[in-house]
């Protein structure tokens, strides 16, 4: 079969587990990349390792990149509380430049691996207006990547795949369920406890729980209490 390689950004959440399964289905040999960026919830990284292992990646790297040195987000700064519900505008869970930073690292690893494909689980439908989850942003990044690398200049076109970009949470869950993803191993909560149990009330938990209901799939999330 094919020996196409892809770098897949894996956070440990529901979306990235799904794209990993989709990349596998498309015949890619997958290299999972996660970031220890100082996120509040360390259990996210344990979930990413579990997801990567279960879905058969060739290699899983966790890069240390402490974004708490800048802060500026409820996910990287202890002085900013994670909101219980969405307000107007871009929420405080937005992490400054996160996808640009992560995609840049993925681009570097892809060039070293000789991979011409990167998968990222950005989603424009359910996700609160994060500017780095938009299609036009991804297209601009792809164009930049092909100008930025030796591989690109030599005519090897790098593609950024965003198979979830226009899907609802329920659509994503249906896709992943079809591909056998065990969502019980994923973690989406912004506020899990130290055992990695989801709070059930943050934006991310509510979006996820509603997705299972709409998809008609039993919710395997491990909740607190």
- Give residues in contact with Zn ion (CB under 5 A): 189, 191, 198-199, 202, 205
Comparison of 97 and 210: residue with beta carbon closer to Zn ion: 210
Comparison of 5 and 222: residue with beta carbon closer to Zn ion: 222
Which of 144, 9, 16 lies closest to 63, judged by CA? 9
Instruction: Output the CA–CA distances (angstroms, integers) from residue 115 to 3, 54, 84, 207, 215, in the order listed.
Output: 10, 22, 40, 33, 34
Contacts of 4 (CB under 8 A, 6+ apart): 27, 28, 29, 115, 116, 117
Comparison of 21 and 189: residue with beta carbon closer to Zn ion: 189
Minimum CB separation of residue 143 from Zn ion in Å reads 36
Q: How far apart are CA 101 and CA 59, in angstroms?
A: 20
Comparison of 20 and 199: residue with beta carbon closer to Zn ion: 199
Task: List beta partners, residue 159.
Answer: 117
Comparison of 122 and 189: residue with beta carbon closer to Zn ion: 189
Copy the structure tokens of residue 217.
């799939």
Minimum CB separation of residue 94 from Zn ion in Å reads 17
Comparison of 110 and 202: residue with beta carbon closer to Zn ion: 202
**203 with 85: CB under 8 angstroms?**
yes
Minimum CB separation of residue 32 from Zn ion in Å reads 23
Burial 137-166 (b: 16+ CB within 10 A, else e): bbeebbeebbebbebbeeeeebebbbbbbe
Minimum CB separation of residue 148 from Zn ion in Å reads 36
Q: How many CB atoms lie within 10 A of CB 219?
A: 17
Minimum CB separation of residue 67 from Zn ion in Å reads 20
Minimum CB separation of residue 205 from Zn ion in Å reads 3
């Amino acid at each position: 079969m094919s020996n196409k390689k892809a770098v897949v950004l894996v956070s440990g959440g529901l979306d990235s587990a799904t794209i990993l399964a989709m990349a596998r289905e498309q015949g890619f040999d997958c290299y999972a990349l996660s970031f220890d960026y100082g996120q509040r919830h360390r259990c996210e990284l344990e979930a990413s390792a579990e997801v990567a292992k279960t879905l058969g990646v060739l290699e899983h790297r966790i890069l240390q990149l402490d974004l708490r040195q800048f802060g500026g987000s409820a996910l990287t700064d202890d002085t900013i509380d994670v909101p219980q519900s969405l307000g107007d505008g871009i929420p405080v869970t937005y992490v400054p430049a996160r996808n640009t930073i992560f995609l840049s690292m993925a681009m570097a690893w892809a060039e070293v691996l000789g991979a011409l494909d990167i998968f990222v689980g950005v989603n424009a439908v359910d996700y609160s207006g994060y500017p780095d989850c938009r299609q036009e942003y991804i297209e601009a990044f792809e164009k930049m990547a092909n100008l930025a690398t030796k591989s690109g200049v030599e005519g090897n076109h790098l593609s950024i795949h965003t198979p979830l970009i226009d899907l609802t949470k329920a659509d994503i869950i249906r896709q992943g369920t079809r591909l056998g993803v065990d969502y019980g191993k994923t973690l989406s909560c912004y506020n899990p406890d130290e055992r990695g149990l989801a709070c059930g009330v943050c934006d991310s938990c509510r979006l996820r729980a509603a997705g299972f209901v709409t998809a008609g799939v039993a919710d395997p999330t491990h909740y607190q209490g």
